[in-house]
Amino acid sequence: MAIGVKDIATAAGVSLGTVSNVLNHPDRVSPRTRARVEKVMGELGFVPNESARQLRAGRSRTLAYVVLDATNPFFTDVARGVEETLAARDLSLYMCNSDNRADREANYLNRLEEQRVAGILLTPVDPEAPALDKISGRGTPIVIVDRTRIGDTHCSVAVDDVLGGRLALEHLLDRGHERIAFIGGPPSIGQVRDRHAGALAALSDAGLDESNLVRIDTSALSVGEGRQAAQRLAGIPGARRPTAAFCANDLLALGLLQHCVSTGVSVPDDLAIVGFDDIEYAGAAAVPLTSVRQPRLRLGRTAAELLLDEVENPDHKHQQITFTPELVARASTETRAN
Amino acid sequence: MAIGVKDIATAAGVSLGTVSNVLNHPDRVSPRTRARVEKVMGELGFVPNESARQLRAGRSRTLAYVVLDATNPFFTDVARGVEETLAARDLSLYMCNSDNRADREANYLNRLEEQRVAGILLTPVDPEAPALDKISGRGTPIVIVDRTRIGDTHCSVAVDDVLGGRLALEHLLDRGHERIAFIGGPPSIGQVRDRHAGALAALSDAGLDESNLVRIDTSALSVGEGRQAAQRLAGIPGARRPTAAFCANDLLALGLLQHCVSTGVSVPDDLAIVGFDDIEYAGAAAVPLTSVRQPRLRLGRTAAELLLDEVENPDHKHQQITFTPELVARASTETRAN
DNA sequence: ACCGAAACTTGAAACCTTTCAATCCAATGT
DNA sequence: ACATTGGATTGAAAGGTTTCAAGTTTCGGT
C-alpha cells in the first residue's frame, strides 16, 4: 500500500541510492534526474518513513517540551518562546502535558526516549528525580525549565523565586500590611518553597515575626484551589485574619479574587492580593492583579538555545541561568484610602 | 554505545526472539527466563528503539493534536478532554501548535505523517484544505476538531456556531440593545462567519435591519486584538456607537473589557459584552463575562473516541457530531438600571 | 522408561532507509 | 585518439526490532 523509495526508484528508472540522494543530498544528483525523481514522488504521493530514516541515520529533528500544566498560560507562553527559537531552525516541537503527575511525566519521558527525540525540555514534577540523570546519561539531553536542580548535571533556566517572594512581600509590607497569608502548595513544589522562603525573609528583614505569615496550603496551583483557599481564609476569625494574600501563582490569585468578588469582600480594601507569573489574564482580572512577572518568552527562548547547544555542540557546558523577576503593581494592592 | 535487544540477549543467554517476546508477548515466555531477561534489561538500562519497533511492526502508540492556538485556554481544555480518553488506553498525545499559520500547520502534519502517528486530531486553519484529504487518503486518519468540513470525508466534532451566534444576539436583543457590534475576524475563519451569520439571523428574526450589526474586523482572535477593537469602537461617534458587543471569542471579549475598564467605559451600562467559549477566565474577569459555552471537555473526549474508532475499527463510519452551545449570563450583560 | 502434546525458545527474514565504496560516463587536456 | 578527471549513479550492507515457522524442552500419562 504505502509508497517507498523503492517504488520511486522503479518508477523513475533510477536506483535506490539516487532517490535517497535526492532526499538528502540534492547537490549530488544532476538537476535532470533530480527533477524526474521529484516529479515521480509528487505523483505517487511519496511520504518518507521517518522511522526507517531515523533508524538508519540516527538523527531526529524533533524536540519535546514536557509541561507541568498545559492549561496554565504561563507554560504556554514559555512554549511559545521555545517554538520561536526552534522554528527558526526548522525543528518541530511536541508538547506533552504531565498535568503535574509524576506517573504521567515518567510515561512521557519514557516514550520520548524510546522515540529518540533529539532533546527534551522539562518542567519536572520533581527536579531531583534520579530518572532525569539516567535519561540524559543515556544520551537524550534534558534542559530543566522554570525549576532548578541541585548540582550541575543539567542545564536549567529559572527565575529567582526567593527574590520573587521577597518582592511580593516587601510590596505588601510597604503598603502597611502586617498580617499576610501565603497561599500555595503542595510544599513538594520547590518553587512554592522558594517563594515562601523569600516571603519569610522579607518579613524578618522588616523586623516582623514569622508568625505573621499565615500559611494556607493548597493541593495544586489552580483556579479551583484558589477559590477553596479563599473559603479557608474567610473562615479565620476577624482579628487574626490576614489583610493581604500572597499567592504562589496567578491562577490561585484569580481563584481567590473570584471568590472575594462574588462574596462581597472588597479587593484591595478588605484583602490585598499579589500573584505570581503575571500571566495575561492577571491584568484583565476583576481587579487587575498585582503580580511578580517572570520573563516567560525569554525563559522559553533561552531554554531552547541551551538545549540546542547541548544537542549540537560537542563541548557543551551545562549552565544554570537565573532570571530576575519584577513586581508589577496593579489595583489589587492599591494603598487603602484612610 | 546504546544497548539493544541483541546485547540483552547475549547478557541473559537467550535468543533475540525471546527478548522480543518478553517485551511484546510476556505470556509466551516462562516466568523464569522472563525474570532473568527483565533483570538484565534493568541493569543495562535498555531502552527499546521505537523507530525500529515501529518500522518492523508498523504500529504506533502516539497520536497528535494540532491545535490552532496553544495559548487559548479553550484549546487546552479540549486537549485535556482528549488526554483523558487517551490516557485510559495507554496512548500518548503530542500537542503541536500551528499558531494559526497554514505553513506551520502543514509542516506539522507533514512531520506527523512521516512519523506514521496512529492518527491526528486537528483544528485546521482551513478546514477545506485539500491536503487533509491527501493525508487521510494515505492512511493517517484525521479528525477535525471544533470545525466542520463540507462533505463527509472526515469525522468531525464541533459546536453549532450559527446557533451560538443566535443565542448571543437574542440575549442582547432581550436586554434592549438594538445597535450591536460584532467583533471578530479574520472572516476566513469559518467559525467567525458562522457566529456572525447566527447573529444576523437573530437580528432579522427580531425584525431589525442588518445594518444594526456593526462589524468590527480583527486580524486574530486574541486579547491584543480585542483591545484594538475597543479603540475602534470608541472612535465611533456617540449616536452611531453600539451599546453592546458580541465578540467571536472570549479572548477578544477580555481584551475589549480590559480596555473599557481602563478607560472608564462602564460595562454593562455603557457597553454590554458577550463572549464565546466560556473559558475559565471569562467568569473571573473584571466584569464577569456573559459567554456562549461550548462543552470543551466533551468536544475533546468525543473527538478522541472518533479517532480511536477510526484507528481501530475496520468498518468505521465517518461521523460529523455537533454539540449545542449554551449561553451563560453574567454581569457583563446585566440589564441596565433605568 | 517412553510417547505425545504442550510449552517454550530459536534464528532468519523483513521492515524502509541511508551510507559509502565502487563503478560508470562525459568532458577535458594533450 | 587516449589518458585523466571528477561528477553522477549504483548496489549491497547496515541499522534495531518483530514475526513466525521450525526446533527443543518439559511433563503428564502409561
Residue B327: phi, psi to the nearest 5? -85, 130
Per-residue confidence band for B338, with pLDDT thresholds at 50, 70 and 90: very low
| Cβ burial A274-313 (10 Å sphere, 16+ → b, else e) | bbbbbbbbbbbbbbbbbbbbbbbbebbbbbbbbbbbbbee
Residue A335: per-residue pLDDT: 81
Q: Where are the domains of chain B?
A: 5-48, 60-159+295-324, 161-294+327-333
DSSP letter at A337?
Answer: P
Q: How far is CA A213 from CA A76, A106, A188, A220, B56, in A?
A: 31, 35, 19, 20, 60
Tell me, in Å, how far CA of A55 is from C1' of D16?
7
* Distinct helix (H) and strand (E) counts, chain A: 12, 12
Residue A164 three-state SS: helix
- Classify the C-alpha dihedral A73-A79-A85-A86 as positive or negative: negative
% of chain A surpassing 70 pLDDT = 99
Residues A172 and A205: beta-carbon distance below 8 Å: no
Q: Residue A155: in which H helix or E strand, if any? A: strand A155-159
Task: Tell me the shortest Cα–Cα distance from B71 to chain A, in angstroms.
Answer: 5
The CATH architecture one would assign to domain A60-159+295-324 is 3-Layer(aba) Sandwich (3.40)
Residue A194: phi, psi to the nearest 5? -65, -45
Residues A291 and A272: their CA atoms lie apart, in Å, by 11
* Mean predicted confidence (pLDDT) in A134-146: 96
Sheet containing A290-293, strands listed edge to edge, beginning at the edge strand earlier in sequence? A213-217, A180-184, A244-247, A272-277, A290-293, A326-328
Task: Give CA B245 to chain center in angstroms.
Answer: 24
Q: Which residues of B touch A61 (CB under 8 A)?
A: 111
Residue type, B203: L
* pLDDT beyond 70 at B281: yes
3-state secondary structure chain B: CCCCHHHHHHHHCCCHHHHHHHHHCHHHCCHHHHHHHHHHHHHHCCCCCHHHHHHHHCCCCEEEEEECCCCCHHHHHHHHHHHHHHHCCCCEEEEEECCCCHHHHHHHHHHHHHCCCCEEEECCCCCCCHHHHHHHHCCCCEEEECCCCCCCCCEEEEECHHHHHHHHHHHHHHCCCCCEEEEECCCCCHHHHHHHHHHHHHHHHCCCCHHHEEEEECCCCCHHHHHHHHHHHHCCCHHHCCCEEEECCHHHHHHHHHHHHHHCCCCCCCCEEEEEECCCCCCCECCCCEEEECCHHHHHHHHHHHHHHHHHCCCCCCCEEEECCEEECCHHHCCCCC
* pLDDT beyond 80 at A336: no
Per-residue confidence band for B264, with pLDDT thresholds at 50, 70 and 90: confident
* Mean predicted confidence (pLDDT) in A33-49: 95
* Mean predicted confidence (pLDDT) in A62-74: 95
Q: Do domains B60-159+295-324 and B161-294+327-333 have the same CATH topology?
A: yes
Degrees to nearest 5, angle at CA A201 with A199 and A205:
120
Judge whether A31 is closer than 8 Å to chain B, CB to CB: no
Kindly list the protein residues whose beta carbon lies within 7 Å of any strand D atom: A 14-18, 21, 27-30, 32-34, 52, 55-56; B 2, 4-6, 16-17, 19-21, 23-25, 46, 48-49, 52-53, 55-57
* pLDDT beyond 70 at B1: no
Q: Record the cell numbers describing residue A42, joined without a space.
A: 509528487
* Mean predicted confidence (pLDDT) in B209-217: 95
Per-residue confidence band for A1, with pLDDT thresholds at 50, 70 and 90: low
Residue A284: per-residue pLDDT: 81
* pLDDT beyond 80 at B337: no
pLDDT in tens, A223-276: 999 999 999 999 999 889 999 999 999 999 999 998 998 898 999 999 999 999
Residue B195: phi, psi to the nearest 5? -65, -35
Beta bridge partners of residue B62, listed in sequence order: B92
% of chain A surpassing 90 pLDDT = 91
Q: How far is CA A332 from CA A119, A136, A185, A254, B131, in A?
A: 41, 44, 22, 11, 49
Q: Please give the torsion angle defined by the CA atoms of residues A65, A217, B281 and B304, in that order, rounded to the nearest 10 degrees.
A: 50
Task: Flag if B92 and A77 touch (Cβ within 8 Å).
Answer: no
pLDDT in tens, A306-319: 999 999 998 999 99
Judge whether B225 is closer than 8 Å to chain A, CB to CB: no
* pLDDT beyond 70 at A337: no
Q: Which residues contact B248 (CB under 8 A, 6 or more apart)?
A: B182, B183, B184, B185, B189, B191, B192, B195, B196, B218, B221, B276
Q: How far is CA A177 from CA A158, A290, A313, B12, B300, in A?
A: 29, 15, 51, 67, 45
What nucleotides of chain C have any atom within 7 angstroms of a protein Cβ?
Answer: 7-21
Beta strand A213-217 with A180-184: parallel, antiparallel or unpaired? parallel
| CATH number listed for the domain at residues B161-294+327-333 | 3.40.50.2300
Task: Tell me the shortest Cα–Cα distance from B260 to chain A, in angstroms.
Answer: 11
Q: Which residues contact A134 (CB under 8 A, 6 or more apart)?
A: B45
pLDDT in tens, A92-124: 999 999 999 999 999 999 999 999 999 999 999
Q: Please give the torsion angle defined by the CA atoms of residues A209, A210, A216 and A218, in that order, rounded to the nearest 10 degrees.
A: 160
Select the more confidently predicted residue: B305 or A288.
Answer: B305
pLDDT in tens, B119-163: 999 999 999 999 999 999 999 999 999 999 999 999 999 999 999
pLDDT in tens, A4-29: 999 999 999 999 999 999 999 999 99
User: Which candidate, A229, A286, A223, A245, places its Cα nearest to that of A73?
Assistant: A223
Tell me, in Å, how far CA of B8 is from C1' of C2?
38
pLDDT in tens, B152-204: 999 999 999 999 999 999 999 999 999 999 999 999 898 999 999 999 999 99
Per-residue confidence band for B286, with pLDDT thresholds at 50, 70 and 90: confident
Tell me, in Å, how far CA of A63 is from C1' of C20?
29
CATH number assigned to the domain with residue range A5-48, chosen from the 4 options 2.60.40, 1.10.260, 3.40.720, 1.10.20:
1.10.260
- What is the number of alpha carbons within 13 Å of residue A33 lying toward its C-beta? 19
Beta strand A290-293 with A326-328: parallel, antiparallel or unpaired? antiparallel
* Mean predicted confidence (pLDDT) in B289-293: 97
Mean pLDDT score across all residues of chain B: 94
Where helices occur in chain A by DSSP H, the ranges are 5-12, 16-24, 31-44, 50-57, 73-87, 102-114, 130-137, 161-174, 190-205, 223-234, 250-263, 296-312
* pLDDT beyond 50 at A338: no
| Closest by Cβ to B94, choosing from A95, A107, A116 | A95
- Residue of A51, A55, A334 to mutate when probing chain B, most B C-beta within 10 A: A51
